[in-house]
Structure 1
Amino acid sequence: MPEQLPDWLTRRAADLPEAPAVICGTTTWSFAELDRQAQATAARLRTLGLGAGDRVAVLLRNGLPFVTLVHALIKLRAVLVPLNTRLSAPEIAWQLSDVRARLLIHDATNAALAQAATGDLTLCRISVDPEAQTPCLNELEGSAFVAPSQIDLDATHVIMYTSGTTGRPKGVMLTYGNHWWNAIGSALNLGHAPTDRWLAVLPLFHIGGLSILLRSVIYGITALVHERFDPLAANAAIERQGATLVSVVATMLERMLDARGKQPYPPTLRAVLLGGGPAPRPLLERCARLGVPVIQTYGMTETASQAATLAPSDALRKLGSAGRPLLPVELRIEQEGQPAPPGTIGEILVRGPTVTPGYANRPEATAHALRDGWLHTGDLGYLDDDGYLYVVDRRDDLIISGGENVYPAEVEAVLRAHPAVADAAVVGLPDAHWGQRVAAAVVVRPGQQLSAEELLRFCESRLARYKLPRALRFVAELPRNATGKVLRHVLRDAWLSPPTAS
C-alpha cells in the first residue's frame, strides 16, 4: 500500500485556523482562508471533469492566484504543470503538447502569450480575473466536492520542465513524497520555528519558489510572496515584515546588499539560502564581513529543491561549501564509474526519497539519469575530508545567467533553424552582473548574407530573453575533435583571449 499522510493544508486549517498562511501585497490569508479559497477553486475546476492525474498547466506571475491553484490542484489530486512565463509561445506550445495538458490557466499579463501558444492545440484555456486576488474562475459554477482526506506520497504532484542537453526540455515528475522529505530534511538542517516567515521572491514556476509554498504549509509558517524580485522590497520584507528565511540566487543577493549599504540586517533574519549555481567567493566574503547569514545550497528540480545545504553553524567555517546532504539524502562523487576520494573532482550523484522517479514520457532519459538508485546529476564537485560538498561547475556546457539554466544545444537548435545558418555553437562567458552571458559562434552558408541583428531578431521570437546570445561572432568553421564533437573550450578560450597585436 502506498504511504499516506493527512492533507497538509486541511490539517493546518484545523490546527492553526487564524495563523497567517500567506501574505501577498496588502493581503493576508490565514490557513483557514487559504483552505477555503483552495476548496472553492477545486470545486469549480471539478465541473470541467478534472480529477486525479489530469495535467493542468498554469501560466501565472507570482501572486495569490498561483498560491491558491497549487493547493486547489492538490485537493483535486490533479498534476500541476507550472510554465515559465519568460518562454516564447513556441516553447510553451511544445511543453503543453508534450505533457498532454488538459487545461491552461493564465492571467491577464500572460493572456497574449497563452493565446499564441495554444493556437494550434485542442485544450481548454481559462483566464484569471485581473481584478481579483484569487483565481475565482467566475465563469464556472462550483459543485459539491469533498477533497480526499489523505495524500498518497507516491502520487505525482507536479511536472516541472527543465532544459536537457538534447535541446528539448524534460518534464521532471515530483511526487508528494519528494516534497515531504525535502521539507523535513530542510527543517532538520535549518531548524524550525513556528514564527518563521519564508520570503518567496523566486518565480513560483521554479522549484526554488514552489517549494516555499509547500514547506510553509507543512511547517505551519507564513509565506511572504512577492510578485517579482525587487531588492528594496525584499529588504523591506526582512526589516518590517519579519522575514526570517530568504531564498535567492547570487545576482539577487548582490542587488539586495547594494541597496542595503552598510546597514546590518536585523537579527531576526536566520538564513539567506543561496542557490542557482556555485556562489562567487567575493560575494560570500562580503556577506561574512557584513554578518549576513548566507548559506550556500545545492539542488535541482530533480531533487525537489535542496539536496545539500550548509548548516548555519558551518557558514563561516566552511565558506564556499554547499554543505552536507540533507538527512534523507545520500550523496557521493563518482569518477569514471568509481567513488572518488576526498578532494577529487567528479560527478555528483544523489540518492534518496527527495529524488524524482523520472521524466514524463522519457523512459530513455529516466534510465540514463537514474542508475542503480542514484541520480547522475552531470554536475561536477568534490567532497572535503569532512564530507562537505563543493560544487565546481553545474555542467560542462551549462550556462547559468542570472540563476536561469541555459543549455547550449537548445540555443544552437534555434540558430541552426535560420535558413542562412550552416552551423552554430554556444558557450557561456563570464559576466560581472549575471554570472554568465550567452555567446554564439555561427557559420553562414556559402553564398548567403546574414547580419547579427537579423539573426537575433529571428531568435527573439523563439527563445526566452535570458537564452538570447549577448555576444555573436561569424566564423568560417567550428573547432571539432576527431569524432566531430565541437570543442567548446577552444571557442571559449578564443573568446576570452586578448587580441594578438599585429
Structure 2
Amino acid sequence: MYPNLLMKRASLTPDRVALRFNEQEWTFARLAEEAIEFAEKLHTKGMEKGMRIAILASSNPKLIVVMHACMQLGCELVLLNERLSEEELNYQLADSAPDYLVVDDYNKRSLSFSNKYSFDEIENVGRSFFEVEKDWTKERTITIMYTSGTTGRPKGVRQSLENHVMNATGSALNLGVHPNDCWLCTMPLFHISGFSILMRSVYYGMTINLHTKFDAEAAIKEILSGTVTRMSAVAVMLERMLTVLESKGLSFPNTFQSVIVGGGPVPLNYLERAIERNIPVLQTYGMTETASQTTTLASEDALRKLGSAGKPLFFADVRIDGNEEIGEICIKGPHVTKGYVGAAESTNPLVDGWLHTGDMGYMDEEGYLFVVDRRSDLIISGGENIYPAEVEQALVKHPAVKEAGVTGKLDDKWGRVPVAFVVLKGETSEEELRTFMKKQLAPYKQPVDYYFVDQLPRNGSNKLLRRELFNYIKNT
C-alpha cells in the first residue's frame, strides 16, 4: 500500500506552493481542497471508484484539479492528446472504452460519446459526499496513456501507482530533491513527460510553474528570473531556446540546475551550444511504458559523457539484445508497465520480465547508455546499417540548418537509400550541403535527395514522425 499522494502531501506541507500559473498560486492545501470538491461533483454526475474517465483538455490549473479529482475518486484516467485528429481520438475512445468523457471545451471537438461532460457542466452541479481513501494499492491503475504511434497503431498503456512512484523515486535519487525545487512544465500534461512532473510534485513537495504550451521566449524569461530550477524538454525545444539565447547573447543563470531532454537522441551540436549558454543538459531515455525516465545522465557526467542518456535509475535495469555492438534496448524494473488495454490487452509487454523497446543503442564500458535510433527507422542500404539520427545529427552541424529529418526510400540497386528533409535558419544550397556532408559521413550514408521544408511532421510530444516523411516520398 502507498498513501493517498495528494492528501499525504497536503497534510505534510499544506502551505507550500504546489502550482503557479501566470500570477496565481495554489498551495498543496488549496489544491487538495479543490480536488475533493470537484471529485464530489463528479460523483454527483455518477462517476464512482473503479470507473474509467477519459479527459481531453489543454494544460492549465483546472486540468490538474480534474486529474487529482479523478484520482481521489478512485477512477482510472485515460489521458487523450488534444492535438490528435477526431479519427485518432475516436479510435482511442473506442479502444479504451471509458465510462465517461470529460472535456474542457465542447467547441474543440465534436466527438460522439454518450456520457460526455464539460468542466463547466460538472462545476455547476452540487456536491455528493464519498469516502476519500487514505491508502492506495500499488497495483492500482492511475493512468492510461497511448503510445505516440510513431510506428503504427498506438497502444493504450496501463501505468500503475507503483510505476509512477518508483519512477519518481529513481529520478529523485539521481537528481536530488531540494527545498527550493521548481519544475517548469511546458510539456503537455496528457503526455508522460508532463504527467510525471505532476506526480513528482506531490511526491517531493515540489512547485510546478505551468505553461499551457511551450514558448521559447516565455520559458527563457522565467528561467532568467531565477524562479525555476529544472525543466523537461525534447531536442527541438532545446534548439529553439538556444537560437533565442544566441540571438540575444544571453546565458542561463546558475540558479537553473538542468534541462532534462528526452524523446530521442539529442544532436551533439545542440549539447555543445548548450554548454556555451550555461545550460546543464541531462539527456534521458524513457517511454510511455516506463512511466517516464529509465536512464538519465547524472549532473557530474554531463560533460564527460556528452551524448549519453546516462545510467539506469536506481530501480531500473537495462541490457542490449543482439550479437552486434548496437542492439535492441531492453528494460526491467518496477516502473515498467504490466500491460495494455483494448486491442493490445492480450499482448504481454514483457518477455521473461524484460520490456523490448524497439529502440537501438549500446552501452559503453562504464555502463552508460547511448541511444542510436528506432529499430523501425533503420535504413539497410546494400547490407549496411544507416541510422537516420546519425545523419540528422551531421546535418544540424551546418550553421544554416535548424532541423533535419531523414528517412529511407526504396532503391533498385541498394534496397533503401537515405533522403533528407531540412528546415533552414540561414541561406544555403543543396550543393553546399552535399559538399558539407561528404566531410561528415561515409559515402553510403549520404542523402541521395534533399527536400527543403518549412517544418517537420511531429506528434503531440514533438517527436519526429519519420513515417510521414517516408509516406511523402512514396506518394510523390
The answer to whether the superposition gives a TM-score over 0.5 is: yes
Letter in 2 for 1:321: S
Residue 90 and residue 323 in structure 1: after superposition, are their counterparts in 2 closer, same or farther (change >3 A)? same
1:376 alignment partner, SS class: strand
Letter in 1 for 2:278: G
The answer to whether the 8 A contact 2:183-2:208 is kept is yes
The answer to whether the 8 A contact 1:278-1:394 is kept is no
2:123 alignment partner, SS class: coil
Letter in 1 for 2:175: L
Q: Residue 360 of structure 2 is aligned with which of 380, 386, 411?
A: 380
Q: Give the aligned partner of residue 128 of structure 1.
A: 119
Q: Give the aligned partner of residue 311 of structure 1.
A: 298
1:237-296 deviations in Å (ceiling 9; x for gaps): 212251101000111111112222332211111111011100011001111222211110
Residue 275 and residue 428 in structure 1: after superposition, are their counterparts in 2 closer, same or farther (change >3 A)? farther
Residue 62 and residue 433 in structure 1: after superposition, are their counterparts in 2 closer, same or farther (change >3 A)? farther
CA–CA separation in structure 2 for the residues paired with 1:158 and 1:45? 17
Q: Give the aligned partner of residue 394 of structure 1.
A: 374
The worse-fitting range, judged by mean Cα deviation, of 91-100 and 314-323 is 91-100
**Percent sequence identity over aligned pairs:** 43
1:278-323 deviations in Å (ceiling 9; x for gaps): 0011001111222211110000000000000000000000000000
CA–CA separation in structure 2 for the residues paired with 1:161 and 1:365? 16
Q: Give the aligned partner of residue 76 of structure 2.
A: 79
CA–CA separation in structure 2 for the residues paired with 1:397 and 1:55? 34
Q: Give the aligned partner of residue 114 of structure 1.
A: 109
**2:240 counterpart of 1:247:** no
2:84 alignment partner, SS class: coil
1:127-170 deviations in Å (ceiling 9; x for gaps): 224xxxxxx82332111223101121111000001145773221
Structure 2 unaligned regions, length at least 5 = 379-387, 393-404, 408-415, 426-456
Alignment of 1:466-477 (within 5 A): 469=468, 472-473=472-473
Structure 1 unaligned regions, length at least 5 = 130-135, 409-424, 435-458, 477-502
CA–CA separation in structure 1 for the residues paired with 2:35 and 2:475? 55
Letter in 2 for 1:14: S
Q: Residue 215 of structure 1 is aligned with which of 200, 203, 209?
A: 200
CA–CA separation in structure 2 for the residues paired with 1:293 and 1:465? 22
1:322-358 deviations in Å (ceiling 9; x for gaps): 000000000000106xxx6xxx100000000000011
Residue 473 and residue 14 in structure 1: after superposition, are their counterparts in 2 closer, same or farther (change >3 A)? closer
Q: Residue 69 of structure 1 is aligned with which of 66, 82, 89?
A: 66
The worse-fitting range, judged by mean Cα deviation, of 139-148 and 266-275 is 139-148
Give the C-alpha shift of residue 224 in structure 1: 0.8
Q: Give the aligned partner of residue 141 of structure 1.
A: 126
CA–CA separation in structure 2 for the residues paired with 1:165 and 1:14? 42
Letter in 2 for 1:292: I
CA–CA separation in structure 2 for the residues paired with 1:86 and 1:179? 24
Give the C-alpha shift of residue 472 in structure 1: 3.1
Residue 389 and residue 48 in structure 1: after superposition, are their counterparts in 2 closer, same or farther (change >3 A)? same
The answer to whether the 8 A contact 2:295-2:312 is kept is yes
Q: Give the aligned partner of residue 33 of structure 2.
A: 36
CA–CA separation in structure 1 for the residues paired with 2:272 and 2:293? 22
1:366 alignment partner, SS class: coil
Give the C-alpha shift of residue 126 in structure 1: 1.3
CA–CA separation in structure 1 for the residues paired with 2:41 and 2:192? 27
CA–CA separation in structure 1 for the residues paired with 2:52 and 2:316? 28
Q: Give the aligned partner of residue 45 of structure 1.
A: 42
Give the C-alpha shift of residue 176 in structure 1: 0.6
CA–CA separation in structure 2 for the residues paired with 1:433 and 1:30? 44
Give the C-alpha shift of residue 5 in structure 1: 1.4
- Report the number of matched residues: 405
CA–CA separation in structure 2 for the residues paired with 1:114 and 1:128? 14
Q: Give the aligned partner of residue 271 of structure 1.
A: 258
Give the C-alpha shift of residue 474 in structure 1: 6.0
Q: Give the aligned partner of residue 95 of structure 1.
A: 92
Alignment of 1:199-348 (within 5 A): 199-240=184-225, 242-261=227-246, 262-335=249-322, 344-348=325-329
**TM-score normalised according to structure 2 size:** 0.79
**TM-score normalised according to structure 1 size:** 0.75
Give the C-alpha shift of residue 192 in structure 1: 0.7
The answer to whether the 8 A contact 2:55-2:77 is kept is yes
Give the C-alpha shift of residue 66 in structure 1: 1.2
Give the C-alpha shift of residue 375 in structure 1: 0.3
1:406-449 deviations in Å (ceiling 9; x for gaps): 9x9xxxxxxxxxxxxxxxx9x98444479xxxxxxxxxxxxxxx
CA–CA separation in structure 1 for the residues paired with 2:307 and 2:36? 44
CA–CA separation in structure 2 for the residues paired with 1:300 and 1:198? 20
Q: Residue 174 of structure 1 is aligned with which of 159, 163, 182?
A: 159
Q: Residue 340 of structure 2 is aligned with which of 351, 359, 366?
A: 359
Give the C-alpha shift of residue 373 in structure 1: 0.4
The answer to whether the 8 A contact 1:106-1:114 is kept is no
Give the C-alpha shift of residue 191 in structure 1: 0.8
CA–CA separation in structure 1 for the residues paired with 2:371 and 2:351? 21
Residue 431 and residue 216 in structure 1: after superposition, are their counterparts in 2 closer, same or farther (change >3 A)? farther
CA–CA separation in structure 2 for the residues paired with 1:379 and 1:127? 39
1:461-502 deviations in Å (ceiling 9; x for gaps): xxx9986946834679xxxxxxxxxxxxxxxxxxxxxxxxxx
The answer to whether the 8 A contact 2:328-2:375 is kept is no
